Chains A and B, each alone.
Chain A
């Protein structure tokens, strides 16, 4: 499978890079700094695809068995 296709696969949840304002909203909502977020490796295939750099925050929309869609935020390291 080619790299570009990975992100389109049904089993790969939707990844998105957050802009500054969105990061601020998330951090404020949970009373944390970016380093308190769960982490994701910079060489994670989906992160590579997006071109996210260490320090960026990505949002991941995962299919959840309890709530339908559940949004996670991870900081790239």
Chain B
């Protein structure tokens, strides 16, 4: 194997151009009367072939085998290479026009002054010829006094410059005279393929047009030189040649009228191919578009499987999978053809064994049906059960791209099960997602085995489930399983039917826990503390007063309630256990059953919150006011102590900082006490259910709405910014009290006073700044890590290897455990 050691970008020498050239272009004719490329023209087949069937005259390869060969144009007179015009100016200015010697002190270049600041002497230090100032006349000529320096003269001068002077002037990568072209390389035909229009007319690439121009002028100049034409004619032609060669390199030169197509369109020449947003780099290399993909808005559908994705019919009719006809599937495929391109589960194209591709239309589908036989390939619409890849940007982890089974649905959005919102980090406020259709059987098999949603329940980040019930599923699960829920036989059978479980119901009524047991797998045993647990000092286990201790024995729900800790992503203990003990398939089945049972029950019971749920009793209000007064007194006492110098300064802090810390502690105490009180006193309503089960919101949110907001902080400190010595003109200078520095006594429901509102806005702004700055910084940090580590793989022998097989770790992760198949990073207990 040849190892590439380094790549060096250099100028091409005329010799090199000659050596790599397969043909010298001598005529501006392109095609002859038979539409065959003219020998010695810019489409000569010695520069490669693009038409199938024809062989390359240089290497004998067919189209696709031959990658093309360079040609050359020998210029009648040299011209400047416009790309290097600035360097040409440097060499003209700092070397002698007669002897090529360096005019400035070699040792001074690149030291204290930049070269442009070094004085050019009046006479050459080596040949004593007078030195005249060189004037650069935009865009591409140089003048010495009134004399125009021709490229020929410049080239002569550059040839005399010794190599060490070239280096001293900071130039590397060849000789300076190579910047003045005497021979022009002509890129291969594969670089500038012509396209045949449907009318049979040939349309040439812009580069070809430009090359034709160059050859034409070059030949004219050559002829005129031979016949000894007058100087002014030669000069005009030479200038024209310079223009064409310059615009061939870059057609957006300032001060140069761009070369245009016959239609008036600007030609896209070499620089334009690479430059800017539509250039090779940003358009084709960094930004890629793929076929067989679709993008649209997403919306939720709790009734489709976790493994499925709902595809709009219109998209399903556009995306296809190639299928080869065999004796086993030919009848199904024929049915697809008969449906045609405009009906769901139809087909768009048929490819004959000889490679000819035919579009199926209503007019020809019967004809195609007749010739359709084994060996034909049909491009069939994606239909229910096909495997597609589903992706949401930013693709930060492997669960951002998972395989789903297609379910073709009406309307125009992609539909997804709500449990996969977490791995995609998706919501439905207008999010869009992409679908990709794998085209080969291997790709589909790989996607199904490795990327299907159920294969990705366990995140390699923490070895637990990343897919799980969210929001309503949690509240619903809680309402079913909480103490006191009883469902009649009728309701139970209805709910279970919708879930897809149909056991024999012998009792007249069932408790919620009994109902839930029907969807638990047989033999499941779990015990854990649920999210509603109040963390009592001594846990009474299944005899917990709050019914917060979950115990499942042999698939029977004994005690506790379903909440965040049972089925939610990251935490779901029951989900985790089923996935570990029964496998991904069972976990998905369980998840689908829980979510459906929860939604069905919620629809039966009704679930809503109202403003009145943020009401608290007068007694609680009074109590909160008492907390405020109590701690305000303590704050005043602290301020007094501080002013009397009686405060005990904490180590590492100034007295001011000590005071602030203490005051803030007192003020947070108000909120904490209020929060605990509200949690204890509030009667169970839907808002509180959501907070304590972990479905949505928190007790703190409820406290802010119903009770008190408390101290506002910016960067962890009370608010001090604003006017000199005070935050707002409403307060006295030097007032250290709670109110003067952002204590909000109101709650959101009551509404904030103008000053409180102002402080709240300050904190709100900080929150917005934080979230936008922090996500950017941590996002970029993660990106750099991913880029550095992305091609390290775990090899067959469980070692971590880099892309050339070098060992990074002798046992991957030092313990050889795949966290995505582990129990929280620990080995599975089998």
Pair B810/A73 contact, Cβ less than 8 Å: yes
Whether B385 is near chain A, meaning CB under 8 Å from some CB there, is no
A32 to B797, CA, bound (A): 12
Residues of B within 8 A of A (CB): 797, 799, 805-811, 813-817, 825
Instruction: Pull 30 A–B residue pairs with CB atoms less than 8 Å apart, ordered by A.
Output: A29-B797, A30-B797, A30-B799, A30-B807, A31-B797, A32-B806, A36-B805, A36-B806, A36-B807, A37-B806, A37-B807, A38-B807, A38-B808, A64-B815, A66-B813, A66-B814, A66-B815, A66-B817, A66-B825, A67-B811, A67-B814, A67-B815, A70-B810, A70-B811, A70-B814, A70-B815, A71-B810, A72-B809, A72-B810, A73-B807
Q: Are A30 and B817 in contact (CB under 8 A)?
A: no
Q: Give, as a whole number of angstroms, the nearest-CB distance from A22 to chain B.
A: 14
How far apart are B806's CB and chain A's nearest CB, in angstroms?
A: 5
Chain B residues near A73 (CB, 8 Å)?
A: 807, 810
Across chains A and B, the number of contacting residue pairs, with CB separation under 8 Å, is: 38
Binding site for B on A (CB under 8 A): 29-32, 36-38, 64-67, 70-73
Docked complex Cα distance between A65 and B797 (Å)? 21
Q: Which residues of A contact B810 (CB under 8 A)?
A: 30, 70-73
Q: Are A32 and B811 in contact (CB under 8 A)?
A: no
Min Cβ gap B501→A in Å is: 41
Residues of B within 8 A of A71 (CB): 810
Closest to A37 in B: B807
Q: How far is the CB of A62 from chain B (nearest CB, A)?
A: 8
CB of A71, distance to nearest CB on chain B (Å): 7
How far, in angstroms, from A37 to B804 measured CA to CA in the complex?
A: 12
A43-B816 Cα distance, complex, nearest whole Å: 31
Contacts of B815 in A (CB 8 A): 64, 66-67, 70
Q: Closest Cβ of chain B: how far from A9's Cβ, in Å?
A: 22
Shortest beta-carbon distance, A72 to chain B, in Å? 6
Give chain A nearest CB distance to B723 CB in angstroms. 53
Contacts A32-B807, A38-B806, A73-B807 known; list 20 others, CB within 8 Å.
A30-B797, A30-B807, A30-B810, A32-B806, A36-B807, A37-B806, A37-B807, A38-B807, A64-B815, A66-B813, A66-B814, A66-B815, A66-B825, A67-B816, A70-B811, A70-B814, A70-B815, A71-B810, A72-B810, A73-B810
> A70 vs B813: C-alpha distance in the bound complex, in angstroms?
10
Q: A26's closest neighbor in chain B, by CB?
A: B810
**Distance in angstroms between the alpha carbons of A66 and B800 in the assembled complex:** 15
B797 — which chain A residues lie within 8 A by C-beta?
29-31
* Identity of the chain B residue whose Cβ is nearest the Cβ of A70 in the assembled complex: B814
Nearest CB of chain A from residue B825's CB, rounded to whole Å: 8
User: Once bound together, how far apart are the Cα atoms of A72 and B814, in whole Å?
Assistant: 10
**Chain B neighbourhood of A37, CB < 8 A:** 806-807
A57 vs B799: C-alpha distance when bound (angstroms): 18
Bound-state Cα–Cα, A76 to B784, Å: 29
Closest to A73 in B: B810
A71 to chain B: closest residue by CB: B810
What is the bound-complex CA distance between A71 and B815, given in angstroms?
A: 11
**Shortest distance in angstroms between A30's beta carbon and chain B's nearest beta carbon?**
6
Q: Which residues of A contact B813 (CB under 8 A)?
A: 66
In the complex the two chains form, is A64's CB within 8 Å of B807's CB? no
Q: State A36–B810 Cα separation when bound (angstroms).
A: 12
Q: For B806, what are the chain A residues with a Cβ–Cβ distance below 8 Å?
A: 32, 36-38
Docked Cα-Cα span, A73 to B806, in Å, equals 12
Residue pair A32, B805 in contact (C-beta under 8 Å): yes
- With a cutoff of 8 Å between Cβ atoms, the chain B residues found around residue A65 in the complex are 814
Q: Which residues of A contact B811 (CB under 8 A)?
A: 67, 70
